[in-house]
Amino acid sequence: MKKQLLNLGLLLLLVGCSSQPSLHYYSLEADNAVSHHLPLQPQHQLVLKPISLSGQLDRISLVYQLEGKELHFAEYHRWAGSLDGQLNQLTLNGLSNRLPGWVVRQDSAREGPVLSIQVTQFQGRHDGRAVISGRWRLQDQNGAVLRDVPFQLVRVLPDDGYNVLVSELGQGWQQLLEQITAELLRLS
């Protein structure tokens, strides 16, 4: 009888271990828009500061906002790399593709305007939306503010699931880059 109970206990332990949820990792898709412009001699330079994330976003788990102000951190749904690193790369590639005749750099060069982006929301929401918000600031090389623009993009999720959420967040980021590009071209 003891042996049967011991075997039953081991079996339950094995079943319990095998039924734990698996981890899922997500990455934001790179901007597939390829510049079809002829190579130009660079006429402008833009310095891109590293993307700044609010504290609740500076983590490996995807964020989902429940009703009210409550946030859920999806323990088994994680970014494949740091979120700020992915957004930095998307921004660098996206602006480089959208701004022919510009050199977009992410170093400490101080020639040309400096773009900084602060992100306060980059998450799913209980009502089936993806939300991206924050502010971007453009300063001249002497530090004078040329533009200081708050942004909030809300995108309807066409279906359920974290894959859909990540896809909509990526498309929302591309939409933000379009807005920034339009403003940069207007100011140049």
| DSSP letter (8 states) at residue 51 | P
pLDDT (0 to 100) of residue 9: 46
Closest to 180 (Cα-Cα) out of 142, 153, 144, 143 = 153
Please give the distance of CA 159 from its chain centroid, rounded to a whole number: 20
Find out whether 46 and 113 touch, Cβ atoms under 8 Å: yes
| Euclidean distance between CA atoms 185 and 188, whole angstroms | 5
Find out whether 128 and 157 touch, Cβ atoms under 8 Å: yes
pLDDT (0 to 100) of residue 41: 67
pLDDT (0 to 100) of residue 36: 47
pLDDT (0 to 100) of residue 40: 57
pLDDT (0 to 100) of residue 7: 44
| Euclidean distance between CA atoms 139 and 147, whole angstroms | 7
Task: Tell the CATH topology of 43-187.
Answer: Rossmann fold (3.40.50)
Positive or negative, the Cα torsion across 88, 154, 123, 169?
A: negative
Closest to 175 (Cα-Cα) out of 133, 140, 145 = 133
- Alpha helices for the chain (secondary structure H): 2-18, 83-98, 162-187
pLDDT (0 to 100) of residue 168: 97
Instruction: Report, as ranges of residue numbers, the positions in the chain whose pLDDT lies below 70.
Output: 1-19, 30-41, 109-110
pLDDT (0 to 100) of residue 179: 97
| Euclidean distance between CA atoms 73 and 166, whole angstroms | 14
pLDDT (0 to 100) of residue 32: 55
| DSSP letter (8 states) at residue 68 | T
pLDDT (0 to 100) of residue 188: 82
Find out whether 69 and 149 touch, Cβ atoms under 8 Å: no
